A and B are shown apart, each in its own frame.
Chain A
Amino acid sequence: MSIQATSVPQLSPTYRLQWEEAQNMFVLLYPEGLIELNQSSAEILQVCDGKNNVTDIVSALEKKFDTTGLENDINNFLNTALGNGWITQSA
């Protein structure tokens, strides 16, 4: 199971993405667990809204950060996220 350019990733219902003021970062919360996210992971998860496909996500983030060549990093992260169950994907 790996992520495709056309698939639409979405945060799994068991996970919650939340901004933590005290720590100045986004965290991912789930039953008895807490993952502290670095900035790029948090940026990607925020656009996994169940509407954007992977291609949309790449272009949205490249536009936001005024850069190119993010595709590989984003794919790698999404595959990890999928493997960990943080996100689900639909075609």
Chain B
Amino acid sequence: MAGSLKAPSPPRWLLAELTYACPLQCPYCSNPLDYANFTNELNTDEWKRVLKQSRKMGAVQLGFSGGEPLVRKDLTELVSYSHDLGYYINLITSGYNMDEAKIIELKEAGLDHIQISLQASSKELNDYIAGTESFEHKKVVAKLIKKHDYPMVLCVVLHRENIHQMKDILEMAIELDADFVELANTQYYGWAHHNRDQLMPTQEQLQEAEAIAKEYQESQAGKMKIYYVIPDYFENRPKACMNGWGTTFLTIAPDGLALPCHSARQLPNFECPSVRDNSISEIWNESTAFNYFRGDDWMKEPCRSCPEKDKDFGGCHCQAFLLTGDATNADPVCDLSPLHHLVTDAIEQAAMTAAEKPLVFRNSKNSKVF
């Protein structure tokens, strides 16, 4: 067992990815490229066991996501069960297929908050990126969410194709009366990594977007909270991934695999354990996967002797793997990494080739190729 011998802190966040099924086809989706292979979804009772065991260990924030969680017929039943356990329940949805009856039903079951995503501020671009006509419907749903008194987070994933709409997106958020707005640039995992050249914004686009975000953060202070996140490729220090591996977050994939981070499935260093074979406490406390990057015994240089290692824990291990082929390397976003050029090269390459390549949309047909 790698990592420190100290008992790990308990999980506080449980992300329940109920299904990989989704009516939309966002080319930046963070689901695995080969998601179509994982069809053996957990059933209602299996989810209930996960929810109960995780709550007992300390998880209190719960996100139902996917794919599109509304696809699951038992969503309301799971919300109600989680509410009785004392979770704060977040629904992370595209809003597609949502209607007023469902919004009321979920509220009565104890749902605390809804995060709805839009793909752009115009119908044309939204429907193109989503790969599905959905813009008008999403806006109606957003209004119904507020009508029924939920706090609402409006999420728009930013990239080269829509970042110029920043101002319109924020105006739309005001019109829809969002409480929080999440304007996160695409992070390059899953489908987004595959489409990286086409999605990567330019430096100029980012500067402009950042200035607009700042302006609105000031003018909306006290009314609407705006989170703006730049792609970490443009930073010179990595993010403290998952607040530290195996310290806070527990993700359960649709097929029951327990993941320390939503992209951990692809890491070759270990097998992620399944909730079908193990209890949550065995998984959290004893599994190789969850212990692998705990503490700093696993670190190599330059992280090992770096004074900042307690701040970012060497960055994101999945990103280190995707870019360098070795998850125990420093996240190459860090400019102290000898492989940092992989990141700057990627930005340059995107600037040169983006126009020549078509976006690959996330759907079952494309997924079966991987």
A residues apposed to B, CB below 8 Å = 1, 13-14, 16, 18, 20, 22-23, 27, 29-34, 85
Contact = CB atoms under 8 A, between A and B. Distances in A.
A79 B280 CA distance: 40
A48 B60 CA distance: 23
Contacts of A18: 60, 86, 88
Contacts of A27: 60
Nearest to A84: B225
Interface string B130-169: 0000000000000000000001110000000000000000
A85 B115 CA distance: 19
B222 A34 contact: no
Chain B interface size, as a band, is 20 to 34
Contact of A22 (B57, B63, B113, B225): B57
Interface of B: 10, 12-13, 56-58, 60-61, 63, 86, 88, 90, 112-113, 115, 151-153, 179-180, 222, 225
A30 B90 CA distance: 9
Nearest to B153: A31
Contacts of A13: 151
Given A1-B222, A14-B179, A16-B112, A32 B57 contact: no
5 contacts: A20-B58, A22-B58, A23-B10, A31-B90, A32-B153
Contacts of A16: 88, 112
Contacts of A30: 88, 113, 151
B69 to A, nearest CB: 15
Contacts of B225: 85
Contact of A14 (B86, B90, B151, B222): B151
